[in-house]
A and B are shown apart, each in its own frame.
Chain A
Amino acid sequence: MIQKKICMVGVYGTGKTSLVQQFVHSVFSEKYHSTVGVKIDRKQVELGDTTVNLVLWDLAGRDEFEDIPMSYVRGSAGIFYVVDGTRRGTFDQVFDIKHKVTEAIGNVPSLVALNKKDLVDEWRLGQGDYNTVKEEGLYAVDTSAKTGDGVEDAFLWLAQSTAEPKP
């Protein structure tokens, strides 16, 4: 069986754990739980006629005291960056995080999930930001862990990218 390690990376409170919960268990909880260290979950997806076992490393979010521990990121086949679309700061920081990750493990298939899309009134990102993401060489997807919009597409896109032969 094909297995792929995917890391969920981003600033604290952007919804990394919620995205995993939505994708793996199809549930959403309004309660906020801060992830300590790392949580590991797993989901099988079908890509064409191959079954891929995604091992999802849900890393603790970055905050002012703690950076993302790069040892957890090592060995990842893909990186799932998460941004909180209602908090601009999380968007700005994600590129810094991305540079550190690339420094540690090189270029691997990655995407940026612009999460919490359901909070339309509080949305703080504009067209310019989408262009920025594109310029950074990242693929952006709007997601909502609450409604599930875009979640599966995002994970499947990343899974598909990791399964493609390396350029």
Chain B
Amino acid sequence: MTDDLDTQDFVSNSDPPEPEAEDIPARFGELRKLLLGGEQKRLADLEKRLEELEIDPEELADHLPDAVALRTNRDKQLARSLAPTLQEAFGESVQRNPQHIATAIFPILGPAIRKAIAETMAGFVNTLNRAIEHSLSIRGLKWRFEALRTGVPYPQIVIKYALVYRVEQVFLIHRETGLLLSQATAEDLEGQDADLISGMLTAIRDFVQDSFGKAEEGDGGLRTFSVGERTVLVEQGPKALLAAVVNGQHPASLLERLQATLETIHLQFARTLTDFEGDSEPFETAQPLLEECLETVLSTDRPSTRGSTPIVAWVVIAVVVIALSALWIRSVVRWNGAISALETEPGIVLVDADRGFFRSQITGLRDPLAADPNQRLVESRLDTNRVETRWEPYLSFDPQMVTERARRSLDVPATLEFEVVGDTLVASGSATYDWIEYAQTHVNLLPGVGTLDLDNVDPVLPADLDQFRQDIENRRVLFGIGASALNGEAQELISHIALIFAELAAAAEESGYEVMLDVVGRTDSTGSNETNRLLSRERARRVRVALIANGIPRDVVTATGIGSSDQLAADDPETRATINRSATVVATITYSPRAGGNQ
């Protein structure tokens, strides 16, 4: 247009117009056509195209796919712009007819769920492995011990030694005001006053920017700074900052992750961030995003190069466990053996048996006549020094104890056996007359015994008396054929018999027995019976007289002649004749407590 005016000026200046007023427009138009024909045509075309510029749907349909692809390749703006619309459309569709969406996504639901479960399980197994490694490796045990010793929680000890890096806190900060929008803190840490930290971070960032010159929006500025072992990473977005407090050496990937999170937050909260007036409530939904940034990486999470250590530890632990188990099992077996031995022991009642690690205790009742319980423990190979025993005395009515008590208090001869039937003590075997008398009068003193049954007891003489009796009865006073006179040998024998009798009589009196002697005279089988009877009687009489002469009281000794009626047996006839021409003494010992003795 400017060209046009210039030209007009030029024309009017160089060629002054003629006064034919009515011709002027027509001629002027002619001139314009001549001079500017080409331009005019182009102008008309452009005008036409401008009019047609209202979007033709068909043309748009042609170009739309290309345009979308082109923009998608260039940046993420299209996705960002479409996201809210798509979300709304999706929501609308679900509201109107959920069936469509359900049908559409059904094929991908199953695999997605399976994958999620598999990942959860894998994570769980991984955690389990880690826990086992931590608790069973030598290093893990060392850490546990240190935790016990110092009282510091075990996880903190692990972090102290194995930490590669840990994102402890993440803050989402409104860029302009420095106000805290949201924050996340690692589980076992106490969060600092996040409001103040976020303000200070912003102030520091502003200060750095002021001091080192204003950087262009979006790049430069304070990115990281260190405080002791901690590094603060600051990611800046147009509307908000994301600051992460990291303990340890963080990898570059962490920065990328923060960046991605910040981008997501800008996308999701674009409107809220712009309209922010100090209300942080809408940003609560951003917290899960921040929590995703919290991570702890330990050196133990990385594959260990020292694979042998755990195996050695395992072997050591296995050996120790086996040895301890063996010892334990042995001690249990011995203990149980000892307890059952005590339980079956007559006269012992277990009241309490408490098996401890270092000391054990046994308490119970013990009949004084029962076996020594400590002996039973020793027999079961129990260390009696580590067992404390307490035995209260009591009377047991166990048959064995009743019998034993009877044996002791009644001084029972070895030839007697006892059996307990109810409260009756049944004796069998043999016993001396004096013992039987004694037992019958003393049985009532025995606890647990009502009666004493002595029906099956053979009364016998006391052994010493019997011995004397036999000694006397085995001797024979021999005579010549048809003679009744006592020769020197016979006299000697008789005086010897008298000596034995003296001893017998003394012993008998002491235990309440009475001794009677009967001299029995014999003959050989020759001669008439009458002759023999008379001869035998004479022989007996003479011996009796001789015995009395030797000091035996007259009323104790009698004489009987039996002739040849009861012959003593011998192999050859001559010997038989010789031994039957004799007199023997039969001693009869009877129990007679009234005569004296130990009553």
Residues of A participating in the B interface, judged by any CB pair closer than 8 Å? 1-5, 37-38, 40-42, 52-53, 55, 57, 69, 71-72, 74-77, 162
Partner of A2 from the list B206, B209, B279 (CB cut-off 8 Å) is: B279
A3 touches B196 (CB 8 A): no
Given A1-B281, A3-B278, A37:B203 Cβ within 8 A: yes
Residues of B participating in the A interface, judged by any CB pair closer than 8 Å? 174-180, 193, 195-196, 199-200, 203, 206-207, 209-210, 277-281
Residue of A nearest to B175 (CB): A75
> SS class of chain B's interface: helix, strand, loop or mixed?
mixed
A53 touches B195 (CB 8 A): yes
For residue A74, which residues in chain B have a CB less than 8 angstroms away from its CB?
176-177, 206
Minimum Cβ distance to chain B for residue A67 (Å): 11
A4 touches B206 (CB 8 A): no
Given A3-B180, A3-B278, A55-B179, A75:B174 Cβ within 8 A: yes
Could you tell me the distance between the alpha carbons of A129 and B13 in the complex, rounded to whole angstroms? 70
B179 touches A72 (CB 8 A): no
Could you tell me the distance between the alpha carbons of A52 and B176 in the complex, rounded to whole angstroms? 18
A1 touches B178 (CB 8 A): no
For residue A76, which residues in chain B have a CB less than 8 angstroms away from its CB?
177
- 15 pairs of residues in contact across A and B, judged by CB atoms under 8 Å: A2-B278, A3-B177, A5-B179, A38-B207, A42-B199, A55-B199, A57-B178, A57-B199, A69-B210, A71-B209, A72-B203, A74-B176, A75-B174, A75-B178, A162-B278
Minimum Cβ distance to chain A for residue B492 (Å): 139
Given A1-B281, A3-B195, A40-B199, A75:B210 Cβ within 8 A: no
Could you tell me the distance between the alpha carbons of A1 and B277 in the complex, rounded to whole angstroms? 11
B279 touches A1 (CB 8 A): yes
Could you tell me the distance between the alpha carbons of A54 and B203 in the complex, rounded to whole angstroms? 16
For residue B203, which residues in chain A have a CB less than 8 angstroms away from its CB?
37-38, 40, 57, 72
Residue of B nearest to A50 (CB): B279
Q: Which of A4, A40, A74, A76 has the most CB of B within 10 A?
A: A40
B278 touches A4 (CB 8 A): yes
In order of increasing CB-CB distance, the 7 nearest A-B pairs are A75-B177, A40-B199, A75-B176, A71-B206, A3-B179, A5-B177, A38-B203
Partner of B178 from the list A55, A69, A162 (CB cut-off 8 Å) is: A55
Minimum Cβ distance to chain A for residue B92 (Å): 32
Residue of A nearest to B177 (CB): A75
For residue A55, which residues in chain B have a CB less than 8 angstroms away from its CB?
177-179, 195-196, 199
B206 touches A72 (CB 8 A): yes
Residue of B nearest to A52 (CB): B278
